Amino acid sequence: MTPALRRALLAWYDAERRALPWRGTRDPYRILLSEVLLQQTRVEQALPYYRRFLERFPTLEALAAADEEAVLAAWQGAGYYARARNLLRLAREVARAGWPRDRAGLLQLPGVGPYTAAAVASIAFGEPVAAVDGNVRRVLARVHAEPEPGAAWLGRAAADWLEPARPGDWNQALMELGARVCTPRNPDCAACPLAGICRGRAAPERYPAPRKRRARTEERWALVLQAPGGVVLEHRSTGQLAGLWGVPMGPGAAPPAVALARYRARAVEPAGTVRHAFSHRRLVVHVFRGRAPEGGVAPGARPLAELDRKLLRAAGLEGAAEGEA
Protein backbone atom coordinates (compact mmCIF):
# COMPACT_ATOMS: atom_id res chain seq x y z
CA MET A 1 0.00 0.00 0.00
CA THR A 2 1.67 3.19 -1.19
CA PRO A 3 1.34 6.56 0.54
CA ALA A 4 -0.61 7.84 -2.49
CA LEU A 5 -3.18 5.06 -2.18
CA ARG A 6 -3.50 5.63 1.56
CA ARG A 7 -4.19 9.30 0.87
CA ALA A 8 -6.70 8.37 -1.83
CA LEU A 9 -8.66 6.04 0.45
CA LEU A 10 -8.69 8.53 3.33
CA ALA A 11 -9.75 11.33 0.96
CA TRP A 12 -12.59 9.14 -0.29
CA TYR A 13 -13.63 8.41 3.30
CA ASP A 14 -13.49 12.07 4.32
CA ALA A 15 -15.75 12.98 1.40
CA GLU A 16 -18.12 10.01 1.27
CA ARG A 17 -18.51 8.63 4.79
CA ARG A 18 -21.97 8.38 6.25
CA ALA A 19 -22.92 10.78 9.04
CA LEU A 20 -23.37 8.15 11.75
CA PRO A 21 -23.94 9.25 15.35
CA TRP A 22 -20.93 7.36 16.71
CA ARG A 23 -18.52 9.04 14.30
CA GLY A 24 -16.76 12.24 15.28
CA THR A 25 -16.51 11.19 18.93
CA ARG A 26 -13.62 9.80 20.94
CA ASP A 27 -15.90 8.66 23.77
CA PRO A 28 -14.99 4.97 24.23
CA TYR A 29 -18.43 4.18 25.70
CA ARG A 30 -20.30 5.41 22.63
CA ILE A 31 -17.83 3.81 20.25
CA LEU A 32 -18.01 0.49 22.11
CA LEU A 33 -21.82 0.57 22.14
CA SER A 34 -21.90 1.05 18.38
CA GLU A 35 -19.43 -1.77 17.80
CA VAL A 36 -21.34 -4.15 20.09
CA LEU A 37 -24.61 -3.40 18.30
CA LEU A 38 -23.03 -3.81 14.88
CA GLN A 39 -21.62 -7.25 15.71
CA GLN A 40 -24.86 -8.91 14.63
CA THR A 41 -26.91 -6.01 13.24
CA ARG A 42 -26.83 -3.90 10.06
CA VAL A 43 -26.20 -0.17 10.44
CA GLU A 44 -29.75 0.80 9.44
CA GLN A 45 -31.19 -1.55 12.05
CA ALA A 46 -28.72 -0.55 14.75
CA LEU A 47 -29.36 3.21 14.58
CA PRO A 48 -32.67 3.34 16.50
CA TYR A 49 -31.38 0.93 19.16
CA TYR A 50 -28.21 2.98 19.57
CA ARG A 51 -30.20 6.18 20.12
CA ARG A 52 -32.71 4.51 22.43
CA PHE A 53 -30.02 2.90 24.55
CA LEU A 54 -28.15 6.18 24.97
CA GLU A 55 -31.35 7.98 25.91
CA ARG A 56 -31.79 5.47 28.73
CA PHE A 57 -28.08 5.19 29.66
CA PRO A 58 -26.27 8.31 28.37
CA THR A 59 -22.99 7.50 30.15
CA LEU A 60 -21.08 4.42 31.13
CA GLU A 61 -21.65 5.33 34.77
CA ALA A 62 -25.42 5.40 34.23
CA LEU A 63 -25.24 1.95 32.65
CA ALA A 64 -23.05 0.59 35.44
CA ALA A 65 -25.65 1.66 38.02
CA ALA A 66 -28.55 -0.07 36.23
CA ASP A 67 -30.01 -3.48 36.98
CA GLU A 68 -29.93 -6.19 34.36
CA GLU A 69 -33.65 -6.21 33.63
CA ALA A 70 -33.64 -2.48 32.84
CA VAL A 71 -30.69 -2.98 30.47
CA LEU A 72 -32.39 -5.89 28.70
CA ALA A 73 -35.56 -3.83 28.37
CA ALA A 74 -33.59 -1.03 26.68
CA TRP A 75 -31.93 -3.63 24.41
CA GLN A 76 -35.28 -5.23 23.58
CA GLY A 77 -35.63 -6.05 19.89
CA ALA A 78 -31.91 -5.78 19.10
CA GLY A 79 -31.42 -9.53 19.68
CA TYR A 80 -28.39 -11.53 20.80
CA TYR A 81 -28.99 -10.50 24.39
CA ALA A 82 -25.68 -11.85 25.65
CA ARG A 83 -24.24 -8.65 24.17
CA ALA A 84 -26.32 -6.53 26.55
CA ARG A 85 -25.44 -8.65 29.58
CA ASN A 86 -21.73 -8.45 28.74
CA LEU A 87 -22.01 -4.71 28.17
CA LEU A 88 -23.45 -4.29 31.66
CA ARG A 89 -20.66 -6.40 33.20
CA LEU A 90 -18.09 -4.35 31.27
CA ALA A 91 -19.62 -1.05 32.41
CA ARG A 92 -19.44 -2.09 36.05
CA GLU A 93 -15.84 -3.19 35.69
CA VAL A 94 -14.75 -0.01 33.87
CA ALA A 95 -16.66 2.23 36.29
CA ARG A 96 -14.64 0.64 39.07
CA ALA A 97 -11.19 0.39 37.45
CA GLY A 98 -11.20 2.84 34.52
CA TRP A 99 -10.86 2.31 30.76
CA PRO A 100 -7.93 0.27 29.44
CA ARG A 101 -6.38 2.45 26.75
CA ASP A 102 -4.98 -0.19 24.41
CA ARG A 103 -6.10 -3.29 22.55
CA ALA A 104 -4.48 -5.71 24.99
CA GLY A 105 -6.27 -4.19 27.96
CA LEU A 106 -9.61 -3.92 26.18
CA LEU A 107 -9.42 -7.61 25.30
CA GLN A 108 -9.64 -8.43 29.00
CA LEU A 109 -13.09 -6.83 29.32
CA PRO A 110 -16.28 -8.96 29.26
CA GLY A 111 -17.59 -9.67 25.77
CA VAL A 112 -14.77 -7.87 23.93
CA GLY A 113 -13.10 -9.83 21.15
CA PRO A 114 -10.11 -9.02 18.91
CA TYR A 115 -12.04 -6.93 16.37
CA THR A 116 -13.94 -4.85 18.95
CA ALA A 117 -10.81 -4.28 21.02
CA ALA A 118 -8.88 -3.06 17.96
CA ALA A 119 -11.73 -0.84 16.78
CA VAL A 120 -12.15 0.89 20.15
CA ALA A 121 -8.38 1.16 20.71
CA SER A 122 -7.81 2.79 17.32
CA ILE A 123 -10.88 5.06 17.19
CA ALA A 124 -11.11 6.15 20.83
CA PHE A 125 -7.46 6.04 21.88
CA GLY A 126 -5.54 6.39 18.60
CA GLU A 127 -3.59 3.15 19.00
CA PRO A 128 -2.14 2.08 15.61
CA VAL A 129 -3.78 -1.35 15.42
CA ALA A 130 -5.75 -2.81 12.52
CA ALA A 131 -9.38 -3.86 12.99
CA VAL A 132 -10.69 -6.59 10.68
CA ASP A 133 -14.44 -7.10 10.36
CA GLY A 134 -16.35 -8.82 7.55
CA ASN A 135 -16.17 -5.77 5.29
CA VAL A 136 -12.41 -5.38 5.73
CA ARG A 137 -11.96 -9.11 5.14
CA ARG A 138 -13.76 -8.82 1.80
CA VAL A 139 -11.76 -5.75 0.68
CA LEU A 140 -8.43 -7.37 1.55
CA ALA A 141 -9.37 -10.67 -0.08
CA ARG A 142 -10.40 -9.00 -3.33
CA VAL A 143 -7.46 -6.63 -3.62
CA HIS A 144 -5.06 -9.56 -3.08
CA ALA A 145 -7.23 -12.10 -4.97
CA GLU A 146 -7.13 -14.36 -1.93
CA PRO A 147 -10.04 -16.84 -2.01
CA GLU A 148 -9.62 -18.17 1.53
CA PRO A 149 -8.27 -15.43 3.80
CA GLY A 150 -7.45 -17.01 7.15
CA ALA A 151 -7.10 -15.14 10.40
CA ALA A 152 -3.29 -15.08 10.34
CA TRP A 153 -3.18 -13.86 6.73
CA LEU A 154 -5.78 -11.17 7.43
CA GLY A 155 -3.87 -9.96 10.46
CA ARG A 156 -0.67 -9.56 8.46
CA ALA A 157 -2.36 -7.91 5.48
CA ALA A 158 -4.34 -5.47 7.60
CA ALA A 159 -1.26 -4.53 9.64
CA ASP A 160 0.76 -3.94 6.46
CA TRP A 161 -1.94 -1.62 5.12
CA LEU A 162 -2.53 0.36 8.32
CA GLU A 163 -2.08 4.14 8.27
CA PRO A 164 -0.53 4.79 11.70
CA ALA A 165 -1.13 8.54 11.58
CA ARG A 166 -4.93 8.08 11.45
CA PRO A 167 -5.58 4.50 12.59
CA GLY A 168 -9.20 5.03 13.66
CA ASP A 169 -10.16 6.76 10.42
CA TRP A 170 -8.21 4.19 8.42
CA ASN A 171 -10.04 1.25 9.95
CA GLN A 172 -13.38 2.97 9.44
CA ALA A 173 -12.46 3.86 5.84
CA LEU A 174 -11.87 0.21 4.98
CA MET A 175 -15.11 -0.79 6.70
CA GLU A 176 -17.01 1.93 4.84
CA LEU A 177 -15.47 0.88 1.55
CA GLY A 178 -16.61 -2.70 2.11
CA ALA A 179 -20.08 -1.66 3.23
CA ARG A 180 -20.81 0.77 0.40
CA VAL A 181 -18.55 0.05 -2.58
CA CYS A 182 -16.86 -3.36 -2.28
CA THR A 183 -20.18 -5.03 -1.46
CA PRO A 184 -20.74 -8.80 -1.45
CA ARG A 185 -22.79 -8.59 -4.65
CA ASN A 186 -22.43 -6.16 -7.54
CA PRO A 187 -19.51 -4.11 -6.18
CA ASP A 188 -19.10 -0.64 -7.66
CA CYS A 189 -15.52 -1.07 -8.81
CA ALA A 190 -15.61 2.14 -10.87
CA ALA A 191 -16.06 4.15 -7.66
CA CYS A 192 -13.37 2.35 -5.68
CA PRO A 193 -10.20 4.31 -4.82
CA LEU A 194 -8.29 1.00 -4.70
CA ALA A 195 -9.45 -0.27 -8.11
CA GLY A 196 -6.02 0.32 -9.64
CA ILE A 197 -4.35 -2.30 -7.44
CA CYS A 198 -7.26 -4.74 -7.10
CA ARG A 199 -6.20 -8.15 -8.41
CA GLY A 200 -9.69 -9.59 -7.92
CA ARG A 201 -11.55 -6.91 -9.86
CA ALA A 202 -12.15 -9.14 -12.90
CA ALA A 203 -14.04 -11.72 -10.81
CA PRO A 204 -14.91 -10.16 -7.44
CA GLU A 205 -17.51 -12.82 -6.68
CA ARG A 206 -14.68 -15.34 -6.23
CA TYR A 207 -13.07 -13.42 -3.36
CA PRO A 208 -13.46 -14.45 -0.66
CA ALA A 209 -14.94 -17.86 -1.39
CA PRO A 210 -18.34 -18.35 0.28
CA ARG A 211 -18.23 -19.86 3.75
CA LYS A 212 -20.15 -23.07 4.19
CA ARG A 213 -22.43 -22.95 7.22
CA ARG A 214 -25.08 -25.37 8.26
CA ALA A 215 -27.79 -24.09 10.51
CA ARG A 216 -29.50 -26.86 12.46
CA THR A 217 -33.28 -26.86 12.78
CA GLU A 218 -34.94 -27.53 16.12
CA GLU A 219 -38.60 -28.11 16.92
CA ARG A 220 -40.25 -26.44 19.91
CA TRP A 221 -43.68 -25.99 21.45
CA ALA A 222 -44.84 -22.79 23.10
CA LEU A 223 -47.80 -22.15 25.42
CA VAL A 224 -49.45 -18.74 25.22
CA LEU A 225 -51.82 -18.66 28.18
CA GLN A 226 -54.05 -15.73 29.05
CA ALA A 227 -54.56 -15.28 32.78
CA PRO A 228 -56.28 -12.69 34.99
CA GLY A 229 -53.06 -10.65 35.29
CA GLY A 230 -52.07 -10.78 31.61
CA VAL A 231 -50.06 -13.56 29.94
CA VAL A 232 -48.22 -16.38 31.71
CA LEU A 233 -44.52 -15.51 31.41
CA GLU A 234 -41.40 -17.08 32.88
CA HIS A 235 -38.01 -15.56 33.65
CA ARG A 236 -35.33 -17.32 31.60
CA SER A 237 -32.16 -17.89 33.56
CA THR A 238 -30.06 -19.83 31.03
CA GLY A 239 -29.42 -20.03 27.32
CA GLN A 240 -29.27 -17.42 24.57
CA LEU A 241 -32.27 -15.52 25.96
CA ALA A 242 -31.15 -15.59 29.60
CA GLY A 243 -32.37 -12.62 31.61
CA LEU A 244 -35.46 -12.10 29.46
CA TRP A 245 -39.04 -13.17 30.05
CA GLY A 246 -41.02 -15.42 27.75
CA VAL A 247 -43.89 -17.81 27.38
CA PRO A 248 -43.42 -21.45 28.50
CA MET A 249 -41.55 -23.38 25.83
CA GLY A 250 -39.97 -26.79 25.43
CA PRO A 251 -38.69 -29.36 22.92
CA GLY A 252 -41.10 -31.23 20.68
CA ALA A 253 -44.17 -30.60 18.59
CA ALA A 254 -46.71 -30.23 21.44
CA PRO A 255 -46.67 -29.44 25.17
CA PRO A 256 -46.63 -32.65 27.25
CA ALA A 257 -49.30 -33.37 29.85
CA VAL A 258 -46.91 -32.44 32.65
CA ALA A 259 -46.51 -28.92 31.23
CA LEU A 260 -50.26 -28.46 30.81
CA ALA A 261 -50.76 -29.60 34.40
CA ARG A 262 -48.02 -27.34 35.73
CA TYR A 263 -49.71 -24.22 34.34
CA ARG A 264 -53.24 -25.57 34.87
CA ALA A 265 -53.82 -24.82 31.22
CA ARG A 266 -57.39 -24.86 29.93
CA ALA A 267 -59.00 -24.77 26.48
CA VAL A 268 -55.62 -25.31 24.81
CA GLU A 269 -55.68 -25.28 21.01
CA PRO A 270 -53.12 -24.96 18.19
CA ALA A 271 -52.50 -21.38 17.04
CA GLY A 272 -50.02 -21.83 14.21
CA THR A 273 -46.29 -22.17 13.67
CA VAL A 274 -43.54 -19.60 14.08
CA ARG A 275 -40.14 -19.82 12.44
CA HIS A 276 -37.22 -17.95 13.97
CA ALA A 277 -33.53 -17.93 13.08
CA PHE A 278 -30.52 -17.44 15.29
CA SER A 279 -26.96 -17.40 13.89
CA HIS A 280 -26.51 -21.16 13.50
CA ARG A 281 -29.88 -22.40 14.65
CA ARG A 282 -33.37 -22.30 13.23
CA LEU A 283 -36.43 -22.84 15.39
CA VAL A 284 -39.79 -24.16 14.27
CA VAL A 285 -42.12 -23.35 17.16
CA HIS A 286 -45.63 -24.84 17.36
CA VAL A 287 -47.79 -22.31 19.17
CA PHE A 288 -50.67 -23.33 21.45
CA ARG A 289 -52.98 -20.82 23.08
CA GLY A 290 -55.24 -21.28 26.05
CA ARG A 291 -56.11 -19.93 29.48
CA ALA A 292 -54.74 -20.19 33.00
CA PRO A 293 -56.86 -19.61 36.14
CA GLU A 294 -54.38 -17.37 37.95
CA GLY A 295 -51.23 -15.29 37.63
CA GLY A 296 -50.15 -13.60 34.46
CA VAL A 297 -47.86 -10.66 33.67
CA ALA A 298 -48.31 -7.63 31.47
CA PRO A 299 -45.68 -8.19 28.74
CA GLY A 300 -45.03 -4.46 28.52
CA ALA A 301 -43.66 -4.60 32.06
CA ARG A 302 -41.05 -7.23 31.19
CA PRO A 303 -38.28 -7.39 28.56
CA LEU A 304 -39.25 -9.85 25.82
CA ALA A 305 -37.21 -11.28 22.96
CA GLU A 306 -38.46 -10.83 19.41
CA LEU A 307 -39.17 -14.57 19.34
CA ASP A 308 -41.72 -14.20 22.15
CA ARG A 309 -43.29 -11.21 20.44
CA LYS A 310 -43.79 -13.41 17.38
CA LEU A 311 -45.37 -16.10 19.55
CA LEU A 312 -47.80 -13.63 21.12
CA ARG A 313 -48.77 -12.33 17.70
CA ALA A 314 -49.29 -15.88 16.42
CA ALA A 315 -51.70 -16.47 19.31
CA GLY A 316 -53.68 -13.37 18.35
CA LEU A 317 -52.31 -11.13 21.11
CA GLU A 318 -50.95 -8.34 18.91
CA GLY A 319 -51.49 -5.74 21.64
CA ALA A 320 -49.68 -7.85 24.19
CA ALA A 321 -46.81 -8.32 21.74
CA GLU A 322 -46.42 -4.56 21.60
CA GLY A 323 -46.59 -4.17 25.38
CA GLU A 324 -50.24 -3.14 25.63
CA ALA A 325 -51.55 -6.07 27.62
> pLDDT for 42-74, tens place per residue?
899 999 999 999 999 999 999 999 999 899 989
Q: Which of 64-68, 288-292, 321-325 has the lowest mean pLDDT?
A: 321-325
Phi-psi region of 76 (alpha: psi -120 to 50; beta: other; left: phi over 0): beta
Going by pLDDT thresholds of 50, 70 and 90, the confidence category of residue 3 is confident
The reported pLDDT for the residue numbered 82 is 87
- Please name the amino acid found at residue 144: H
Check if 35 is active-site. yes
One-character DSSP codes across 9-33: HHHHHHHH----TTTT---HHHHHH
How far apart CA 57 and CA 49 sit, in angstroms, is: 12
- 35, 127, 163, 176: which one is catalytic? 35
Give the per-residue pLDDT at 74: 92
pTM over cut 0.75 = yes
Query: Which fold is adopted by the domain 3-206?
Result: Endonuclease III; domain 1 (1.10.340)
- For residues 273-292, give the mean pLDDT: 87
- Amino acid 224 reads V
pLDDT at 96: 96
pLDDT at residue 325 in the model: 35
The domain limits of the chain are: 3-206, 216-321
Q: Which option is the CATH number for 216-321: 3.40.50.620, 1.20.140.10, 1.10.10.1100, 3.90.79.10?
A: 3.90.79.10
Per-residue confidence (pLDDT) for residue 183, from 0 to 100: 96
- What is the per-residue pLDDT across 79-107, written as a single tens digit (0 to 9) for each? 888 899 999 999 999 999 999 999 999 99
- The whole-chain average pLDDT of the chain stands at 91
The backbone torsions φ and ψ at residue 235, rounded to the nearest 5 degrees and listed phi first, read: -85, 125
Asked if domains 3-206 and 216-321 share a fold, the reply is no
Express each pLDDT in 167-197 by its tens digit. 999 999 999 999 999 999 999 999 999 999 9
